[in-house]
Amino acid sequence: MSDNVTQQHYNFAFLDEGAKREIRRTILKAVAIPGYQVPFGSRELPIGRGWGTGGLQITLAIIGKQDILKVIDQGSDDSVNAVSIRKLVTATTAVATTTDTQAATLIQSRHRIPEEKLRNDQILVLQVPNPEPLRAVSPKETISRNLHADAEYSGIWLRLYEGIVKFGRTVTGADHPVMVADRYVMNPSPIPKFDNPKLHQAECLYLFGAGREKKIYAVPPHTEVVSLAFEDYPFTVEDVKGRACRLCGATNVYFDEIIDSVTNERYFQCSDSGFCGKRRKRMEVMSGESSAADSNS
């Protein structure tokens, strides 16, 4: 595919300039109203609609020739969809790519925020399947827009409460709703609850793109982001205690659970593959140095 794209001389970053400008204007509005979903004329892209086209449109609209891009899916740089998205962006922009979170200026991600803390010169673009936290309250856009306008979120609180009544504790998984800047309730995209605290008072800019639902929203740096919870049932993240990555030994990170098809053994490894790879490399260098020191003695 990349051969075809370059041969046919598509515009820089695929979209026509008018579309990119429109998306950038939408992003500016989103940044100005943290957590508010700004509608936009979402364009069709050569990857599946529902496979990250919202995030990808943001990436294509803001990427410049100097940017260094990282694309991850479920934390992994090498997951098929991350590969496919990276390929499309590089084929139409020729920007440099990296798997190192710290080296990237622009990161597009599905379902994860990287383990390494992001800086104020970095932007994280998250792909969003369902932008509307009120969708479970009402399937209708006309109703949910009014509820947002009135900051009427009792439907969401009620659902959280009902979960507690039924199961004795909060039962939300990924995409646990957050209150942004004390005004808008927002879906953080299906990141695990483990990643929710990273949105709060962050250094970097978070941009959220929902292509199919045609909405863009943002969490600017240093914004209050509070995961919804009750005083007596506080917000808790997924339990990672007692687990360590079998490759790099990391603890207190989010894990993929892997079942060995031969031994049926269950083990864990870092969901953030760039982070894990970097730790292993560092360990190799260190053990290499120490073995070199050994042979010298």
Active site residues: 35, 245, 248, 270, 276
Stretch that binds another protein, among 79-87, 198-206, 226-234, 281-289 (CB under 8 A): 79-87
Three-state SS at 187: coil
Q: Is 279 an interacting residue with respect to another protein (CB under 8 A)?
A: no
Q: Is 239 an interacting residue with respect to another protein (CB under 8 A)?
A: yes
Q: How far is CA 207 from CA 31, 58, 155, 185, 189, in A?
A: 8, 8, 26, 15, 11
Q: Is 249 an interacting residue with respect to another protein (CB under 8 A)?
A: no
Please, how many CA atoms are within 13 Å of residue 1, restricted to the half-sphere of its CB?
Answer: 12
Least distance (Å) from another protein to the CB of residue 294?
A: 31
- Site residues for another protein, 145-164, by CB under 8 A, read none
Give the neighbor-by-neighbor strand order of the sheet with 38-39: 38-39, 215-219, 205-210, 123-127, 106-110, 68-73, 96-97
Q: Are 174 and 126 in contact (CB under 8 A)?
A: no
Q: Is 48 an interacting residue with respect to another protein (CB under 8 A)?
A: yes
Q: Is 218 an interacting residue with respect to another protein (CB under 8 A)?
A: no
CA distance 61 to 64: 9
Stretch that binds another protein, among 28-36, 38-46, 114-122, 220-228 (CB under 8 A): 38-46
Residue closer to another protein (CB basis): 68 or 83: 83
CA distance 253 to 269: 9
Burial of 3: CB neighbours in 10 Å, binned 0-12, 13-18, 19+: exposed
* Residue from 141, 162, 265, 289 in contact with another protein (CB under 8 A): 141
Residue closer to another protein (CB basis): 149 or 167: 167
CA distance 238 to 268: 14
The residues of the shown chain that bind another protein, judged by CB under 8 A, are 1, 10-11, 14-19, 22, 39-46, 48-51, 53, 73-76, 78-84, 87, 110-112, 129, 139-142, 167, 169, 171-175, 190-194, 212, 214-215, 238-239, 254-257, 269, 271, 273
